[in-house]
Chain A
């Protein structure tokens, strides 16, 4: 009787399966060869269980170049009003009328970027919200691994013997420190682009010019 439920679940789950089927590049892959997906989310709050994604922005780094043709900015229809969070991301309910279903957005992300190395600034937020979204949509989530530019920056500053305050690690502060151009903060695509610039700068500034993905992952874990 509930066979249709199963039928419906099968193909959707395939998205997760396919995503999981493509492994991360091997740990000894030089970072210069990696394909990175630099991602930023804007949400209605910080609690992945109760808050929702309102927009996703991403840019792709291949051969250490940010390819702007593949930049994406997707608005997501949240199940509830964006409420007070509009103050941060500037997206109001009226703007979201043309937004897409979270399912479409997630499917596009998982189908196109399996095997890419995901990157975000303060990545635990992105990780939690993506995981929660997959669980809600597909019943199960792949294990998202992220390179966190905030962690990388923290390591970098520690190695240089700096006392690091929390505020020094915020994205605009990092951009200033790296002499990178700024733009509108709290816009998913602009922030993803900024985060990508930060990663490129961090990679260049590391003394290890032949750095492998394994080494980068280790740095990102702290």
Chain B
């Protein structure tokens, strides 16, 4: 006999959510229910699968180190069931709760019977859950016709005259007409037909449309992909294609429509940016960034690529603004490099990023040089702000005179951070260690970067302090009501995906990259370089890369959703909005970060 309370719970718990009711009720028969009270120790070597129903359970290593917090829908015991090894872990109840114990026989039977159940636990075990995909997954899709054409049918009957057709086309400002007889498509008439089949043939204005139309035109269903329409058009050398919906006419798509549909392609937007002659024009262009983001979302462009594209656009805006400033201010008095820090430098900008930039000058910023670049920086920074890239609240901007320095000036400043590091100074300074040149002299920039890397590589004291600041914040180990939820200015609560996740990976990757003198700035490229040079273990790197991608993807999807709903874009995630799988994946990521932080601590303190 099954108990619906138990079955209902299993039915919404990944990976059992794919089982049928009959299978679930079989499963239910192999369950024993136990109630634990806070402080109770849970036996860990019972050769059974523990499923948390309610309450919170903390998992400690034999060295009393907190490994994870388990709550509703979480599992324990699969480790031993899969490997037959015993474990010295300690599992302790923290908040009274119920657990379901599933016996080993049923656990193995399910694994053999259902591939996704097996895969789920294997992945969970190897911490590679981010590679587990729900079975019914949406296929990758690109734009479909109904995304770009509206129901906009302009039609005429075959018995009407060519003059009527010309009048209708003029009135509706279209270059083609659908010819319909009793709701059925019988042909099309285009501008070109009127020219070559009527005028050129000297036919009278009262000629019937039927006489000159293109009969039985190619059509395409509105659910087809846009690229299928392009293929049809180029294959048959046509520029007009009737779009049908369940066999009936829906609209017409033209080659021009297709070109227009591609306009929110990033290449198009970047080209537009470089053609603008005024800040107003750039501001207009920047309004399309959000549309572009949504298109990227629809095309399921992965988050890290989307971050790259968004950075490229910020770069283009910056470059164009510098050009416009130079048109206004005249030629610069010396060579300069416009630098970007932080996410723009790493090329993983998000939609809510603010400005982090500076100027590196060939000459000391005094007199004429200072006046010129102060004006240039003001122009560019206010221009960027108008284009939606907010001013930096910490004033890390080229418009700040302290951030307009010569090579000697910058070199000295980095030297101070590197040779006499204090944790507080480093906490503020770590952002400066991710830098990239956006415009101006590359040579000047390279001189600075090489100088920095030469000072940081193998500099144990500096690396120790930098690694300490990279551990100031930790990833949450459990989703405990108030434990991890943070507030933003608007008193919204949530889990900060950036502060508690993405940044932690960025920070620790930076420490390793600087220790090894790697000049890459992008976090993913840094990690790959670290694996190639064997500074880090390639498996650890893969885990970090996966965790980074999962977190970035969650944030990107969330930002897109907020855009679509017209909300402000924030990094605060409401854990209640997550699916069970996402929750598992997120916990997985946090565990990966946690481990990477501990090995970093070990690595950089030991070498001192």
Contacts and interface: CB of A to CB of B under 8 A. Distances in A.
Interface of A: 57, 59, 64-69, 71-73, 179-184, 187, 189-190, 193-194, 196-197, 200-201, 203-205
Contacts of B13: none
Contact of B33 (A65, A189, A203, A205): A65
B4 A65 contact: no
Nearest to A201: B35
B211 interface: no
A183 B32 contact: no
B54 A68 contact: no
The binding surface of chain B is classed by DSSP as mixed
A181 B36 CA distance: 14
A66 B54 contact: no
A68 B3 contact: yes
12 contacts: A65-B32, A66-B32, A67-B32, A68-B2, A68-B28, A181-B9, A183-B4, A184-B4, A187-B4, A193-B6, A194-B5, A204-B96
A68 B53 CA distance: 15
B121 interface: no
B215 to A, nearest CB: 65
Nearest to A205: B37
B407 to A, nearest CB: 64
Interface string B149-172: 000000000000000000000000
The binding surface of chain A is classed by DSSP as mixed
B101 interface: yes
B34 A193 contact: no
A179 B38 CA distance: 13
A172 to B, nearest CB: 13
A65 B31 CA distance: 10
B576 interface: no
B477 to A, nearest CB: 22
B30 interface: yes
Contacts of A200: 33-35
A69 B29 contact: yes
Interface in B1-50: 1-6, 8-9, 28-37, 40
A66 B33 CA distance: 5
A180 B32 contact: no
A181 B32 contact: no
A183 B31 CA distance: 18
Nearest to A74: B1
A205 to B, nearest CB: 7
Contacts of B285: none
Contacts of A189: 1, 3
Contact of A183 (B5, B33, B54): B5
Nearest to B103: A69
A57 B29 CA distance: 15
A101 B192 CA distance: 87
A190 B54 contact: no
Contacts of B5: 181-183, 190, 193-194
B35 A197 contact: yes
Contacts of A182: 5
Interface string B212-245: 0000000000000000000000000000000000
A111 B101 CA distance: 28
Nearest to A200: B35
A190 B1 CA distance: 10
Contacts of A71: 1-3
Given A65-B34, A68-B2, 19 more contacts: A57-B1, A59-B3, A65-B33, A66-B32, A68-B3, A68-B6, A68-B28, A68-B29, A68-B32, A71-B2, A73-B1, A181-B5, A183-B5, A183-B8, A187-B4, A193-B3, A193-B5, A193-B6, A205-B37
A47 to B, nearest CB: 28
Nearest to A62: B32
Contacts of A194: 5
B98 interface: yes
B35 A68 contact: no
Nearest to B4: A183
A180 B35 CA distance: 10
A160 to B, nearest CB: 16
Given A180-B54, A184-B4, A68 B33 contact: yes
Contacts of B8: 183
A183 B8 CA distance: 10
A57 B5 CA distance: 14
Contacts of B6: 68, 193
B34 A72 contact: no
